[in-house]
């Protein structure tokens, strides 16, 4: 028996990295997973890993930035799975760099794939969660939003801070419907971070030393398992919170 038996979860950006780790962790506790992303082979690989653990998983191809398509995607998930209980807004495709080097399109891309996409998914999932007696939303933000010096991370931090505020508002407005909403701010050993650490070993070691626990989190064991806890019955009274899953590095 898992803590999420019978639950149905949507995880965006679940083809690799943090999204995949979260999907695997949720499935390990009995949840069925709608695996969303832009690259079908990656989605199918995640689905195969979930099925190896004995749980149901189906791939859904799409770009979260296409917010007009989101209601249809959620409707298809509900039609195929029978409902939705958990929504994890993980996907993000934005821009990094000094503010003066960034054009409007690059800056706006982070908002479309971040808070705009999350809002579209949250709004589309709300009636289905309410119908099932409640649900849990987990939005991925970043400690970049609270850095004293967010140089080159300004656009990213702005989008993530907007998502944090959106999460808190949903928690306040939807609590009466039994829907909880929380944010997590993870450091995780994603494929992109692994490549950067391999290419920049000195900088990577300096970064690791800033983490009190001494290591970068594992996508499934450290980040995914925390999401399981947030979505499960043991933390049923927690909503509107930001959980810094960063080994103690940031101060929210």
Q: How many residues does the chain have?
A: 252
CA 181 to chain CA centroid, Å, is: 12
What gap in Å lies between CA 62 and CA 43, rounded to an integer? Answer: 11
What is the rounded distance in angstroms from the CA atom of residue 82 to the CA atom of residue 76?
10
Q: What are phi and psi of 34, to 5 degrees?
A: -90, 110
Alpha-carbon distance of 146 to 160, in angstroms, equals 10
Eight-class DSSP state of 60: E
Hey, which residues does 37 pair with through a beta bridge?
Answer: 61
Could you confirm whether 215 is annotated as catalytic? no
Helices (H) and strands (E) in the chain, counts: 9, 7
Among 92, 96, 153, 156, the active-site one is 156
Q: Return the percent helix, strand and coil in the chain, to nearest 5.
A: 55, 15, 35
Angle between helices 17-28 and 40-52 (to 10 degrees): 30
Mention every residue, 6+ apart, whose C-beta is less than 8 A from residue 63.
Answer: 38, 113
Q: How big is the CA angle at 177 (ends 82 and 130), to the nearest 5 degrees? A: 15
In whole angstroms, give the CA distance from residue 10 to residue 241: 20
Catalytic residues: 156
């Amino acid at each position: 028996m898992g803590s999420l038996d019978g639950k149905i979860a949507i995880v965006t950006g679940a083809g690799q990295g943090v999204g995949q780790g979260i999907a695997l962790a949720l499935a390990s506790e009995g949840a069925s997973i709608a695996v969303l992303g832009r690259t079908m082979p990656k989605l199918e690989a995640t689905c195969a890993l979930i099925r190896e653990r004995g749980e149901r998983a189906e791939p859904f191809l799409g770009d979260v930035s296409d917010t007009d398509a989101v209601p249809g995607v959620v409707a298809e998930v509900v039609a195929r799975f029978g409902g939705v209980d958990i929504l994890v807004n993980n996907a993000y495709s934005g821009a990094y760099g000094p503010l003066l080097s960034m054009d409007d399109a690059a800056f706006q891309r982070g908002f479309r794939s971040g808070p705009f996409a999350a809002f579209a998914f949250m709004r589309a999932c709300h009636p289905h969660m309410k119908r099932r007696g409640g649900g849990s939303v987990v939005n991925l933000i970043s400690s970049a939003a609270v850095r004293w010096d967010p140089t080159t991370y300004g656009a990213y931090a702005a989008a993530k801070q907007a998502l944090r505020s959106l999460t808190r508002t949903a928690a306040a407005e939807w609590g009466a419907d039994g829907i909880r909403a929380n944010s997590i701010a993870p450091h995780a050993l994603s494929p992109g971070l692994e490549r950067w650490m391999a290419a920049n070993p000195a900088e990577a070691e300096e970064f690791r030393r800033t983490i009190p626990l001494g290591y970068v989190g594992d996508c499934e064991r450290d980040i995914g398992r925390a999401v399981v806890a947030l979505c499960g019955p043991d933390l049923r009274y927690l909503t509107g919170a930001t959980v810094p899953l960063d080994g103690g590095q940031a101060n929210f």
